[in-house]
């Protein structure tokens, strides 16, 4: 079967760094996406990785290791507005997205 695993919830302090991990087992791999979803709102795109390595976009970075079936999203200089759920999604061999349940990130002052 296809499976995406993420921690259910994480807590971090404003101004700190947090790493959200995602492991996957899918039928084929054509890329991994990270989305941010604030409560009651639609997900918004953060990053896309298809090759191994680190992609950096401002305060957010995403890493991929295809051999390990592993990715992480790194958030630096945390702000209160970063409190949200972070969804990991893998594009399988049919180019369909398989979604993780999301990690709820709580930022404390």
Partner 1 sequence: SQTIHQWPATLVQPVGSPLSLECTVEGTSNPNLYWYRQAAGRGLQLLFYSVGIGQISSEVPQNLSASRPQDRQFILSSKKLLLSDSGFYLCAWNGRGHSNEQFFGPGTRLTVL
Q: Over the range 9-24, which residues count as b (16 or more CB within 10 Å of their CB) and which as e?
A: ebebeeeeebebebbb
Cα end-to-end distance, the chain, whole Å? 40
Q: Which of 89, 90, 105, 107 binds partner 1 (CB under 8 A)?
A: 89
Based on the shown chain and the rule CB under 8 A, indicate whether residue 72 belongs to the binding site for partner 1. no
Q: Which of 7, 29, 31, 60 binds partner 1 (CB under 8 A)?
A: 31
Judged by the rule CB under 8 A, the positions of this chain that interact with partner 1 are 4, 30-31, 33, 40-45, 48, 50, 87, 89, 91, 95-97, 99-102
């Amino acid at each position: 079967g296809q499976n995406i695993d993420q921690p259910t919830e994480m807590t971090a302090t404003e101004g700190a760094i947090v790493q959200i991990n995602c492991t996957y087992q899918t039928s084929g791999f054509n890329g991994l996406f990270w989305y941010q979803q604030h409560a009651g709102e639609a997900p918004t795109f953060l990053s896309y990785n298809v090759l191994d390595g680190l992609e950096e976009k401002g305060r957010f970075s995403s890493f991929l290791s295809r051999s390990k079936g592993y990715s992480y999203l790194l958030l630096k200089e945390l702000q209160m507005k970063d409190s949200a759920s972070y969804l990991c999604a893998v594009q399988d061999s049919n180019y369909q997205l398989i979604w993780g349940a999301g990690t709820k990130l709580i930022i404390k002052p």
